[in-house]
Amino acid sequence: MAPRAEPPLTGPVTLGDLTREGKLLWCWCADCGRERDIDPATVPLPASFPVPEVGSRMVCSTCGGRKVRTAPELYPGGIEAQRARFRK
Ligand SMILES: [Zn+2]
């Protein structure tokens, strides 16, 4: 029997991965619930920086909270585009 192929070893998604794939960086504040998507290229961190750790370097622009979660974009085109689709 042929050995099963191992899944590729992938680390956490980095800011550089998002930029390369044309994806937005999703940010969510656990204090006030504010959600927004930002262009990863505008984040002043190295391209090799892991996306889940970006939030620890961010401060919410609405409430100043530091419990910011970050992830690769959840919705194609960002949360605003997603909301626009439901508004119709
Ligand atoms: Zn906030």
Does 87 score more than 90 pLDDT? no
Domain count for the chain, please give it: 1
Calculate mean pLDDT across residues 56-75. 94
Within-domain flag for 6: no
Q: Taking Cα atoms as reference points, which of 6, 78, 67 lies closest to residue 32?
A: 67
**What's the 30 CA to ligand 1 centre distance in angstroms?**
7
Within-domain flag for 41: yes
Higher pLDDT, 78 or 6: 78
**What's the 14 CA to ligand 1 centre distance in angstroms?**
23
Mean pLDDT estimate for the chain: 89
- CA 3 to chain CA centroid, Å, is 35
Q: Are 65 and 59 in contact (CB under 8 A)?
A: yes
**What's the 31 CA to ligand 1 centre distance in angstroms?**
5
Higher pLDDT, 83 or 88: 83
Q: Is the full-model pTM beyond 0.75?
A: yes
**What's the 66 CA to ligand 1 centre distance in angstroms?**
8
Within-domain flag for 3: no
- Nearest 10 degrees: Cα torsion 72, 49, 55, 79: -20
- pLDDT value at residue 8: 58
C-alpha count within 13 angstroms, C-beta hemisphere, residue 75: 15
Calculate mean pLDDT across residues 8-29. 90
- Helices (H) then strands (E): counts for the chain: 3, 3
Within-domain flag for 61: yes
**What's the 1 CA to ligand 1 centre distance in angstroms?**
55
Within-domain flag for 81: yes
Domain hosting 79: range is 15-87
